[in-house]
């Protein structure tokens, strides 16, 4: 299979490109950070999609920082909605066989515990501007299928973590502070809200799911990518400090808490499991250990 990965130099994109090449797919990788086009430039995106001659397009590019979305609402909508519209239009024009659009489980938003686990029919109740932009993008994909017949698959990943993730995401942020405290001889690690509970999945499991959906996913369908279990940020913080090479204690910093947040998310992965046999395989403790080791390497480079 010949694949075009848009957003290839990002956290997930790097893992996806590596996985696709490992299994023998041909990969064309583009990313703005590496001199590729801005997805909001419709002409440039169309030219790149035509030139790639891909069987499948993986659309990963966009604005993925929930915290930043509160201060850059317009930029978030432009990247996540307008950018996606351009990619889908380019795919239609180039007769791409299928598109895997990476969306987000944040669209489910504020849910009651009685609604858990969340399946793909759970109504959207987005809280953050990021989540609202992804809800709009999800509907854009559905319209592209229903209105134009584009074979687009809607992937809704829950929280994914792993080596290479930036510091703007909770587990990675805590891991970076633990690594810095080890290097600098600190004894505290700053944290925000610890009661939030999330369904964490290793990014290496997530990209396997994307490839399986590219081959087996039903056009127009939505698929949760999740483990089916949730843990608290407290568990993540305790695990990371427990893996530290020196005694560390957590210190709450209100400035690290978001203006509003989804208190709990846990997904139901039954749909993708029944279709492809996929399930999350890497234990969260192993993922956190790998994430911390990765941050140790990054921190020690500077």
243-251: average pLDDT: 96
Tens-digit pLDDT profile for residues 81-102: 999 999 999 999 999 999 999 9
User: If we measure between CA atoms, which residue out of 37, 30, 31, 140 comes closest to residue 85?
Assistant: 140
**What's the predicted TM-score (pTM) here?**
0.95
User: If we measure between CA atoms, which residue out of 143, 111, 140, 139 comes closest to residue 126?
Assistant: 111
Tens-digit pLDDT profile for residues 42-66: 999 999 999 999 999 999 999 999 8
> Which residue intervals of 155-264 are DSSP H helices?
170-184, 203-216, 233-242
For the cut 90, the answer to whether the pLDDT of residue 179 exceeds it is yes
pLDDT value for 1: 94
* Burial group, residue 175, by CB count within 10 angstroms (0-12, 13-18, 19+): buried
Report the distance separating Cα 25 and Cα 43, nearest Å: 27
User: What are residue 40's phi and psi, to 5 degrees?
Assistant: -85, -5
Q: 294 by DSSP, 3-state: which?
A: helix
Neighbouring C-beta atoms of residue 44, cutoff 10 Å = 17
For the cut 80, the answer to whether the pLDDT of residue 259 exceeds it is no
Q: 201 by DSSP, 3-state: which?
A: strand
Asked if 55 contacts 2 with a C-beta cutoff of 8 angstroms, the reply is: yes
* Bridge partners (DSSP) listed for residue 153: 100
For the cut 90, the answer to whether the pLDDT of residue 32 exceeds it is no
Domains belonging to the chain, first-starting first, are 2-161+202-225 (3.40.50.720), 170-196+230-264+282-300 (3.90.25.10)
For the cut 80, the answer to whether the pLDDT of residue 211 exceeds it is yes
* Bridge partners (DSSP) listed for residue 30: 6
pLDDT value for 160: 96
pLDDT value for 177: 98
172-187: average pLDDT: 96
Report the distance separating Cα 247 and Cα 50, nearest Å: 55
176-195: average pLDDT: 96
223-232: average pLDDT: 98
pLDDT value for 4: 99
Out of 12-21, 61-70, 83-92, 282-291, least confident range: 61-70
Neighbouring C-beta atoms of residue 207, cutoff 10 Å = 25
Q: What confidence category does residue 136 fall into, taking pLDDT thresholds of 50, 70 and 90?
A: very high
pLDDT value for 254: 84
**DSSP string over 55-109:** SEEEE--S---HHHHTT-HHHHHIIIIIHHHHHHHHHHHTT-SEEEEE--GGGG-
* % of the chain beyond a pLDDT of 70: 99
pLDDT value for 302: 64
pLDDT value for 36: 87
pLDDT value for 260: 66
Instruction: Kindly state the tokens that stand for 80.
Output: 């996540």
248-254: average pLDDT: 93
Asked if 235 contacts 241 with a C-beta cutoff of 8 angstroms, the reply is: no
Instruction: Kindly state the tokens that stand for 213.
Output: 């959906």
For the cut 80, the answer to whether the pLDDT of residue 258 exceeds it is no
Tens-digit pLDDT profile for residues 155-170: 999 999 999 999 989 9
Task: Calculate the average pLDDT of the chain.
Answer: 96
Report the distance separating Cα 83 and Cα 40, nearest Å: 5
């Amino acid at each position: 299979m010949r694949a075009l990965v848009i957003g290839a130099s990002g956290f997930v994109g790097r893992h996806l490109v590596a996985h696709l090449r490992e299994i023998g797919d041909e990969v064309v990788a583009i990313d703005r950070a590496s001199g590729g086009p801005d997805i909001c430039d419709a002409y440039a995106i169309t030219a790149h999609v035509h030139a790639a001659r891909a069987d499948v397009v993986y659309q990963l590019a966009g604005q993925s920082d929930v915290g930043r979305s509160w201060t850059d609402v317009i930029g978030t909508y432009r990247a996540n909605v307008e950018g996606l519209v351009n990619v889908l239009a380019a795919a239609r024009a180039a007769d791409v066989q299928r598109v895997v659009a990476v969306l987000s489980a944040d669209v489910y938003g504020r849910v009651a515990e009685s609604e858990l686990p969340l399946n793909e029919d759970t109504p959207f109740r987005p809280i953050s501007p990021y989540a609202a932009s992804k809800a709009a993008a999800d509907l854009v994909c559905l319209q592209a299928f229903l209105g134009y017949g584009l074979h687009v698959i809607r992937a809704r990943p829950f929280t994914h973590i792993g080596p290479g993730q930036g510091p703007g995401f909770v587990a990675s942020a805590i891991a970076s502070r633990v690594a810095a405290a080890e290097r600098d001889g600190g004894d505290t690690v700053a944290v925000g809200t610890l009661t939030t509970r999330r369904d964490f999945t290793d990014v290496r499991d997530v990209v396997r799911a994307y490839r399986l959906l590219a081959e087996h996913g039903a056009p127009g369908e939505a698929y949760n990518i999740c483990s089916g279990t949730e843990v608290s940020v407290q568990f993540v913080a305790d695990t990371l400090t427990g893996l530290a090479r020196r005694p560390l204690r957590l210190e709450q910093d209100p400035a690290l808490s978001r203006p509003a947040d989804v208190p709990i998310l846990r997904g139901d992965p039954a749909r993708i499991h029944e279709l492809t046999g996929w399930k999350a395989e890497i234990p969260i403790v192993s993922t956190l250990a790998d994430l911390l080791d990765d941050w140790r390497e990054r921190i020690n480079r500077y």
